[in-house]
Structure 1
Amino acid sequence: MKILAISRNDEPAVSSATGCAPSLASARANRDSHPRASHWLASLIALTLIVPFAARAEVRISGFGTLGAAVSDQDFIYQRFIDDGGTLNRDSLIGLQLDAQLADAWGLTLQAKAAPSTHDENAWEPTLSWAFLSWRPDNDLLLRAGRLRLPLMLYSANSDVGVTFEFARLPTEVYSLLPTTDVNGLSFARTWLDDSREWTLEGYLGTTQTYWRYYLRDNMEPLFPAGVSFLGYDFVMGGLTLSRRERENLWRIGLHRTDAEADQGPVPRKFPFVTLVPGTDIGYYQVADAMPGPGVSFVDKYVIYVLTLGMEMALPWDIQLIGEYGQRRVDNAAITGPNTHAAYLSLLKRIGCWTPYVYWAGIRSRPPALNFGDALNRNRVPDVIPGAAAINATQRAGADMLGPFDQQSWAIGTSYSLSPTSKLKAEWMHTRTGVLSSFVDSPAGEDSGGRQINVFSLSYNFTF
């Protein structure tokens, strides 16, 4: 059976991202709380409500999956799972979708998948990606309510379904702007024609709970636990996107707002500098209120704006040009917030069943945030200062908490269509990190910047 309800008007995201956090002292305790229970409960309620329609509903079931292997030439972890030991966790997943036509204008869509957990490095878990009721009063208007995918990037809606795109994986630099694009709320899509052009305006409003991942090099228990931690955030999200399609060409612009409130409470806006030797620059940044100093400046939540631009263009000789740009800006925390620019540009060439491609992708924190993260990471007090080792460790931990980015990647790969419902993909990707990159889990005492990483990927993608 073919996969259902996967269209560019649905769009959603990637499984992991990094941002800025408040104190991580109890992050590991929080990561075990499970927001997905409410999503499953919502779906059960929805199923109960549609029972009267079940007898006459037209139901279709489909599925999708990816078995993907990735290995790098480095002994540290990159993108959560990849190192020189190889992994199946970076790209593998399995999913099932139910689409029920309840009446002429009414439908129900449920989509569940099993994949590596978004809040546990060592576990897989089932999640409910879609659980929405749709109403189409006419051919040009579609309304939805429930668990939805956001129209964030070009391939967000079908990011889990590998047969719908040619890349071994969607460029992480761009598809990690937010840690989730699933939301509980309402959406609309309005379409109209202008000669040979089709315009689509989409909007949504909703809430969700998600996790941002952090990796700290140094152990500063109980203040800063070393290793991986996940911090829960409550998101209130809303946005609009406008698309124009003309033949095989597509252009798109979107503006999105997220109010991110951490489970831990207020989030840092500024880390003050504490001078230890008057008349010198010897001192430390106070990254937690438990440290001596005037106190960390906090805000109740991050107010995040995301601007997205995307295009697909058909060029002569069966060549396709695809590019996307995203800007993430935090209004109320310019230095400590996850302010970034990200983009990729790719060329693809269809040759029978083969589609070779090449792309460049990059992500960079905005200068104030990147420069401050670099200064914090490099700040050291002399060993003659009492407690120098502990102070210096807090500076590195503070830099890790900020989640800075400065890296770019080149990738060369190809897909091979075994059938309309299955593809093989292979890719070599070369990544260079600049000042710092939170995609790299650098060993204790080392930096994530100045790295070169080669990643080799092979995957089998299918629908049924």
Structure 2
Amino acid sequence: MMKKRYLTTVIAALMCSPHALAQIEFNGFGSVRASYSDSDEGAPPFTYLDEGEVTFKGESLFALQARGELGEGLSATIQLFAEGREDFDVEARWAYLSYQINDIHQVHIGKLANPIFHQSEYEKVGYAHNFSRLPTAVYSNFEFATMEGISLNSQFSLADGDYTLDTKLSFGNWDGGLFLSAIGGEVPLALDQIISLNLTLSSDWWKVFAGVFGAEIQAEQFDQAVVLASVQPGIDLALAQGATTSDVNNFINGLGWHEKDGLYWFSGFGIDYNNILLDAEYVSYGVEESSDSTNEGWYVALGYRFNEFVITVHAEEQTQEIDYSEGLSGVQSPTLLATGQTFIEVLGQPEFDAVGITLRYDFHPNAAFKVDYISGDHTRPDIGDYSIMSAGIDVVF
């Protein structure tokens, strides 16, 4: 309640000050979407959907962004964001200062977007892409989509202007909670010393891109509440069978996430030629030397633009190949090995694949109507085969 009152006071103060209003530029975006999902086994494929029911809440959102020009290359930006799946509670998603160093470089400092993958920075801006939602196999609504830190955005003109190279170098931290489907809840987690680099090389009708980000994970509570609590019976049995303390410590450390490195990387391309659209992206991520096996995701989309319409078909897949070697390297006790393998399997992300078709109609210069149908297969036993249908409007203003 106090947060809402504070935001209201700030906005009212801005609106009541003629001097401030003259300095501030407002824009924003929004989506209002009705979604319906159905699965063979009765559970919705994603938590923000309602199985067997139409919901206007799960995929609807609004954001208002204010940018104040302070002069001599300095500006301040804040984005207020509200999402239906969070009961439209308003949060300051972005809040940062920017400084234009020269025509090539611009620096941002504050609460920023964390560019995990190619479109992560604008993942929530539905109007910016041709899907009802970006393919979930890649863009799965990561909790650490923002960070507190600094970034350097640069744009280089190459070969007498024939090519453009955009780069983004970021450094920062994030502190919050991570939802784990294996336990059906959230655990406290932090990312320290986030370092990321994104590169995009483009010309008139094509682009190629790649990026990587790494961070040190602070997950002491996760290790205690999830890892140790789950494997303690196996540890007790192994000790009773003669396992050494050194082997147990090696086992616990191998499964844990605390002070391990998280590594995320992506690559892909986009083509927009003679009204034919082709996009693809591949991602890989995980916690190194831990119980988290490497996750992989990809999508390929083919579209065609005709007048105010764009029709897009796409395929996507998310997989996680279970790997015991990193988390259980050096463990000798057969009981500990069996316990660790079971834990790694249970902790593993569910896998799924899907195909879909989306129709976009730009009925207004600042608005697009979209309707889509997706059919997929999920490895979770309470989901199985599933389908999603949605219709909605994306706007920018």
Q: Same fold (TM over 0.5)?
A: yes
Residue deviations 1:241-271 (CA, integer Å, cap 9, x gap)? 1111111311111011022222615369989
Q: Distance in 1 between matches of 2:300 and 2:76?
A: 36
1:77 equivalent in structure 2: 44
Alignment partner, residue 264 of structure 1: 221
* Identical amino acids, percent of aligned pairs: 18
Count of aligned residue pairs for this structure pair: 355
Correspondence 1:77-116 to 2 at 5 A: 77-82=44-49, 83-116=51-84
Of 201, 220, 224, 1:244 maps to 201
Distance 1:257 1:188 in 2: 17
Higher mean displacement: 353-362 or 299-308? 299-308
Match of 1:9 in 2: none
2:230 aligned with 1:287, yes or no?
yes
How far off its partner does 1:395 sit?
11
Residue 135 of structure 1: how far off its partner (Å): 0.3
Distance 1:183 1:115 in 2: 19
Match of residue 148 from structure 1: 112
From 152, 158, 177, the equivalent of 1:211 is 177
User: Do the aligned partners of residues 269 and 199 (structure 1) sit closer, same or farther apart at CA in structure 2, a change above 3 Å counting?
Assistant: farther
In the alignment, is residue 323 of structure 1 matched against residue 289 of structure 2? no
Which deviations, in whole Å up to 9, do the C-alpha atoms of 1:176-220 show, x marking residues without a partner? 28432201000001221112001122110111123222345xxxx
Between the aligned partners of 2:153 and 2:259, the Cα distance in structure 1 is 30
Report matched runs for 1:101-180 at 5 Å.
101-116=69-84, 123-176=87-140, 178-180=142-144
CA offsets per residue over residues 282-319 of structure 1, 9 Å max, x none? Answer: xxxx8332663345613323411111112111234x11
> 3-state SS of the aligned residue for 2:28?
strand
Q: Relative to 1, partners in 2 of residues 1:252 and 1:356: Cα closer, same or farther, differing over 3 Å?
A: same
CA contact (8 A) 1:238 1:257 kept: yes
Residues 203 and 240 in structure 1, CA contact (< 8 A), matched pair in contact too: yes
Q: Distance in 1 between matches of 2:288 and 2:340?
A: 24
Q: Does 1:192 align with 2:148?
A: no
Counterpart CA distance in 1 for 2:151 and 2:133 is: 27
Distance 1:87 1:399 in 2: 34
Q: Which residue of 2 aligns with 1:377?
A: none
Measure, in 2, the Cα distance between the counterparts of 1:256 and 1:85.
38
Indicate the SS of the match to 1:264: helix
**1:410 matches 2:347:** no
1:462 aligns with 2:395: yes
| Mapped contact 1:269–1:332 kept (Cα < 8 A) | no
**Secondary structure in 1 aligned to 2:323?**
helix
Q: Select the structure that is richer in helix.
A: 2
Kindly report structure 1 stretches of 4+ aligned residues shifted beyond 6 Å.
Answer: 267-271, 394-397
Matched residues in 1 for 2:348 and 2:44: separation?
16
The 2-side partners of 1:338 and 1:125 are apart by: 34
Task: Please state whether the residue corresponding to 1:287 is helix, strand or coil.
Answer: helix
Report if aligned partners of 2:322, 2:348 keep a CA contact under 8 Å in 1: no
Structure 1: gaps (5+ residues): 1-35, 49-53, 217-223, 272-285, 373-393, 438-446
Give the 3-state SS of the residue equivalent to 1:171 in structure 2: coil
1:431 aligns to what SS in structure 2? strand
Structure 2 length-normalised TM = 0.80
Closer, same or farther: CA 154–395 of 1 in aligned 2, 3 Å: closer
Question: What residue is the counterpart of 1:233 in the other structure?
Answer: 189
* Shift, 1:397, TM fit: 10
Describe how 1:328-407 pairs up with structure 2 within 5 A. Answer: 328-333=285-290, 336-368=291-323, 398=343, 402-407=347-352
- The root-mean-square deviation of aligned C-alpha atoms, in Å, is 3.3
1:351 deviates by: 1.0
Unaligned runs of 5+ in 2: 239-247, 328-338
User: Does structure 1 conserve the Cα–Cα contact (< 8 Å) formed by 2:187 and 2:222?
Assistant: no
Letter in 1 for 2:114: L
Any idea what SS the aligned residue of 2:355 has? strand
